Amino acid sequence: MNAAEMVDIYVMGKKYTVPASLTIMNAMEFAGYQLKRGCGCRAGFCGACATVYRIAGDYELKVGLACQTKVEHGMYLTQIPFFPALKALYDIESLDPTASAISSYYPEIYRCIGCNSCTKVCPQDLNVMQYIAYAQRGDISRCATESFDCIMCGLCASRCPAHIVQYNVGILARRLYGRHILARSSHLTQRVDEIAGGKYTAGLEALMAAGLEELKVAYNNRDIED
């Protein structure tokens, strides 16, 4: 391979020379790392591979998903598959879908300074600052909708100067919305009743007893909804 197509990166302080065309995740594997944690879907959606990195000569600390971000020469990196942020414990049945329900567990939402760092860093291109504003106003439906595609990678919280845990605020809003605002789904209720009544028990037992080849055939011939 042409030397011009290779770059030097540093993983946990150790130097490796890797192809410039690779993502961080693939470059780490090229360097010999066996990724057992901090990787999931490998296609930029699951949020398991949050990474902090710095480029030589650049004062700014950067973040991204290892499966999306291409390596750069002089990149110093480390993965943070779990961001150490406060996660409140609550009984969703006892809460009302209001701003006070969210702020009682995450009062830091009112410390937002409007810097928009959370939105800028989001790999899903969510308007994170906007859904926090909805949470502040008690607009639970809009907060839930705006945060729906959150993958819980924690990158928003890693850049927030007000120490807001935006992704946990979003999941509380979605739980409040699903439990107390959204209309009950009749077909979901029907399916739960069917499961409780044993309609699918025989089929599940047959799958559990099936061999690998049988499972492959069943998988390849399954019904797929459009």
Confidence label for 169 from pLDDT (cuts 50, 70 and 90): very high
Verify that 105 and 169 share a domain, yes or no. yes
Verify that 62 and 120 share a domain, yes or no. no
The pLDDT, as a whole number, for residue 106 is: 97
pLDDT at 8 over 80: yes
What does the DSSP assignment read for 115-155? --HHHHH-TT---HHHHHHHHHHT-HHHHHHHTTT-----H
- Per residue in 100-132, pLDDT tens? 999 999 999 999 999 999 999 999 999 999 999
- Per residue in 18-35, pLDDT tens? 999 999 999 999 999 988
Verify that 139 and 173 share a domain, yes or no. yes
Domain span including residue 153:
92-181
Verify that 125 and 176 share a domain, yes or no. yes
User: What is the total count of domains within the chain?
Assistant: 3
Is pLDDT larger for residue 79 or for residue 177? 177
pTM equals 0.79
Verify that 124 and 168 share a domain, yes or no. yes
Residue 86 lies in a domain: no
Verify that 98 and 171 share a domain, yes or no. yes
- What is the mean pLDDT of the segment spanning 52-59? 91
Task: Classify residue 70 by its DSSP letter.
Answer: B
**Residue pointed to by tokens 């409040």:** 176
**Integer Cα distance of 2 and 149 in angstroms:** 40
**Integer Cα distance of 124 and 149 in angstroms:** 7
Least confident residue range of 26-30, 126-130, 173-177, 184-188: 184-188
Residue 13 lies in a domain: yes
Q: Are the beta carbons of 45 and 126 closer than 8 angstroms?
A: no
**Residue ranges of E strands in the chain:** 6-11, 14-19, 50-55, 62-65, 75-79
